[in-house]
Amino acid sequence: MALAKRDDEKYGQEDQAYFSYYAMLTHQAQMLQDGVRTTAYQTAILSHPDAFADKIVMDVGAGNGILSMFSLQAGARAAFAVEASAMAHCLRNMVQSSKGGPQAPNSWANGRLAVVHSLMEQVTDDTLHEAAKADGVSLPTGEVKVDTLVSECLGVLLVHERMCETFLAARDRFLRPGGSMFPHAGTLVFGLLQDPKLWGEVRARGEWWNAENFYGVNLTPFKEMAYKEAFASPVVGCFTPSSVIGSTVTPTGSYTCDDHALCTYQVDFERITMDELRDFVVPVSWDVDQAVVAHGLGAWFDLSFGKVGDASFGMTTSPFAPATHWAQVRLLFDEPLALNRGQRVVGTLHFAVNDHRSYDIDADIRVPFGDNTVARRTAHWKLDRQTYSWDAM
């Protein structure tokens, strides 16, 4: 197989590193090896023949093309694999290899998979017709509308990388009225977090600068900025369920979490507007059932794919479930919050896009007391400035 060409420089400078990263087969393998993710998508696609059998499908940000292939397994008449990175060249090799007769690798995809090497936002009807012709896919002439969109357009905490915007762009331009989206929604989940060890480690990053004689230099003017930087950096990694305030151990040894301990915010891909995705506020409230110290918030996301049989089907990146490559996020306060049993914590999380393919998150968290006083914590987190820490599960 020929190596993927390095041609991502045709995009803007801010996108070059991003697309070069996703052009690496090493990274693509990491995502494929996430069995929770890959199994959930295949199950969702194969369980909805009404959305795939004899349909035209568009795979948004196709990467290695696995969702396109699942769509063909589900009976799709044709699939457009739209990929901006040089991974598109590897996909074209897959298409070419399928043309070698009945014994060729993936011969069942021959004449059904068209690779579109482009930013989704730059795709046109002509682009799709040219890709279909080049890869031997039969397509009606004229305007192109697809029946179903599939995408694994998701970053850390769902919205990091801002690829959800690309999913919406495909929806608004190419999805026929009444068409399907997989996934059709994502849900952000937030819980209060107790993690004194991690909080101490993050504080130590700032405390290091509290040095009056470092090789004869006083570093303390950096201290305040170092604290702000350390606590503005979300910590990505899997953490133990016991860190979530309100979690309990069941008789079988597994963890559960009461509804009052978690807050959710749904991103409905079928209906949300681009502006609503780029700037939104999450109201939060938690009831505390024990005296505890909160060091910040734990956050993750769930996906919804509709129903399989009579039950809703989805996937979670929760600490209460098997780990995924997305892991979870810890958003730490610069000062812990002491809470008593029976208190309610309320507030807002304001998400706004930034210029680094991510979001800034501004938190205003309050604990009202009976004497009309309020304990308050504010925080500013930059989702693109991630650090990493992995607890044993």
Residues contacting 209, CB < 8 A, separation 6+: 219, 220, 222, 223, 226
Q: Which residue in this structure is represented by tokens 């699939």? A: 79
Q: Which of 14, 130, 161, 207 does the annotation list as catalytic?
A: 161
For residues 99-113, one letter each, b for 16 or more C-beta atoms within 10 angstroms of the residue's C-beta and e for the rest, the string is eeeeeeebeebbbbb
Nearest to 349 by CA among 191, 202, 164: 191
152 among known catalytic residues:
yes
Between the CA of residue 285 and those of 92, 297, 331, 332, 343, what are the distances in Å? 49, 12, 16, 17, 11
CB 129 within 8 A of CB 144: yes
For residues 158-183, one letter each, b for 16 or more C-beta atoms within 10 angstroms of the residue's C-beta and e for the rest, the string is bbbbbbbbbbbbbbebbbeeebbbbb
Q: Which of 9, 14, 83, 152 does the annotation list as catalytic?
A: 152
201 among known catalytic residues:
no
Phi, psi of 181, rounded to the nearest 5 degrees: -125, 135
Q: Which residue in this structure is represented by tokens 């309610």? A: 344
- Residues serving a catalytic function are 152, 161
